[in-house]
Chains A and B, each alone.
Chain A
């Protein structure tokens, strides 16, 4: 064994010892003020040792070392909180501490609670409607913005603008419009936000207004990427605008549809800010003899369970299920759309 190898292995071992001792001290509640530095020195020694270790996989080790900062960041900000979240969903966590491991109780309670089941279905309805609305409007706007109409750059900017306003601000502005402006139409006309179905429609309108411009930009990019020569060839062959659109443009931008449908799907499913600002769950409706918040989507339901009810563990449970649902829906959608693309 070469001298260098011995040295680097010794370095790694020393680093591990220092790290373990420091962690042990920390968990035993020691208040030694240098323990933070010891931990850093220990870990740095391990890294250095790994780097200096002569081996055939030296390149791989270096690659790993350079990835480490990002991997660590990802771990600390995404993976560990996610794992903790899943863990907390099996406890009676209050947001401060937990006393017991309660298994699947949270999950059972969640599926039994009517408000969650209702909010699942209303979110589903909203998602489907919103996906259709936004995509149709966005595609039509994109056709307009890529046609030879005068001032189309102005249209692009104008349609995109609402997307730059924050959802909460937008929500309150529209709430004012629904409650104060539209009620001026005639005497006795009640605000849309007081009727459960119309309130859902109101959120749909605002959502489409906000999001269609953004999706439009993606369609515009897609439409512009359709090769000129094919379009010209079809023109020479005597294809009219409708045929060009259906037979050439649509198939050519099928992958743009995948992106847009995926984006709107996930975004509608996660809808929170507009929901909070426009209705905050109201108005109420009676379902099966019980009062229910009629426009409380899943994200808002989770938020209220954790924050308003102070049931952090239950809220966390709902969030875990929310994640799984979202993952299933998105993956299925991507899978189906990808298949379509190939066929076309």
Chain B
């Protein structure tokens, strides 16, 4: 009998252990109600510098792993000043961020603030996003993410800009003024001139462009193609992206874009063009072997690794006949506040502090080397390309990143392939235009 009891106990124990995984975490909902009450009184408290600590740490899923250290340092200082603990969780380096957050949602472990990358992800997540329209920072920026119903849901934490980045020393030696590079004819002239002086300048090729479809699709299919969509347009002018979303292209404009792209490809290093990775492309340029590279200010942190000492700047990929002076600048992704979070108010306060406190702007701009999307900030970037992009932002010569509104994955699954074929000379200009149009139409239809 004693033995039987033991077995019974054992079975009970086994049963319980195999079921404990199903136990729901005891989350007390009354706390949530308390918080909304607290929230209304919070604004006045903030002014006196005493933010009420709700006790729970807020958690941020950041999609830019490069700035993980800087954000954590800022979180420390934020905790010292306000007593509110902030946990930074950075994903990146090839991690599928959207998938990871989907996992968090399924597991009931959503962060209070999460990153999202544009229209496509907005469609997936809009049910879970807090309306941030009434936040003080909204008035200070034109880069916030506005959802389909006019609500502000995305907090822009930084700006990025790109075009064709040049080695100013080589351009100067060749007698080319980068300020003149504002139309297709000027580029043609400059490229021919630099190409004819390759030996004197000690360079292998004029430009460093990578058009391989497997790993560099984002450079061609998103970034370079982005110029077709946005160059010369007002920030809120959606002409070409709307056409694209209807599955159509403007053949005349695409024709000019095709001519310009062909020229870029012809003057690039042939090996890097069809088989180079991002590192290859960047290394070639950073070692002074080419005058141009089709990347943006995100290469700033890599420049010291290559010991870059030459002066640099970014010029527009001006493929049109008329002058276009601006480059494409926008927020690469946004932060949204989870609307079922227990800490909505604390999360909102944190975002405001990031904008309005000196520490916040210092952390993002000085420490992380980014460009502030907020007019209230007067902290100047210290890295060369970020400083260069800032001059475009200040003078208002920027175009929007309309390419982020393209259907998701279109560059990886469709456009990058066409660019690679064009780079390998397997397509003529007319075939390129036709195939581009067909590929877009087909992708949009699905």
Contacts and interface: CB of A to CB of B under 8 A. Distances in A.
Contacts of B14: 65-66, 68-69
Interface string B198-216: 0000000000000011110
B412 A308 contact: yes
Interface of B: 7-8, 11-12, 14-29, 96, 98-99, 102, 105, 120-121, 123-125, 127-128, 212-215, 271, 274-277, 280, 407-409, 412-414, 416-418, 420-421, 424, 426, 435, 438-439, 442, 446
A4 to B, nearest CB: 12
Contacts of B96: 307
B271 A282 contact: no
A6 interface: no
5 contacts: A36-B25, A190-B271, A191-B271, A191-B275, A284-B418
Given A47-B15, A73-B18, A310-B409, A35 B24 contact: yes
Q: How large, as a class, is the contact surface on chain A?
A: 35 or more
B124 A94 contact: yes
Contact of A40 (B19, B127, B435, B438): B19
A185 to B, nearest CB: 13
Contacts of B121: 310
A307 B100 CA distance: 11
Contacts of B105: 96
Q: Chain B at the A interface: mostly helix, strand, loop or mixed?
A: helix
Contacts of B426: 286
Contact of B213 (A66, A73, A281, A307): A281
Contact of B408 (A48, A51, A193, A309): A309
Contacts of A73: 18
A217 interface: no
B49 to A, nearest CB: 35
Interface stretch (A266-274, A288-296, A332-340): A288-296
Interface in A12-41: 26, 31, 33-37, 39-40
Given A36-B26, A109-B446, A283-B420, A193 B275 contact: yes
B214 A280 contact: yes
B366 to A, nearest CB: 34
B219 to A, nearest CB: 13
Contacts of A51: 7-8, 11
A115 B213 CA distance: 15
Most buried by B among A52, A179, A292: A179
A68 B98 CA distance: 35
Contact of B124 (A76, A96, A308, A309): A96
Nearest to A276: B214
B18 A72 contact: yes
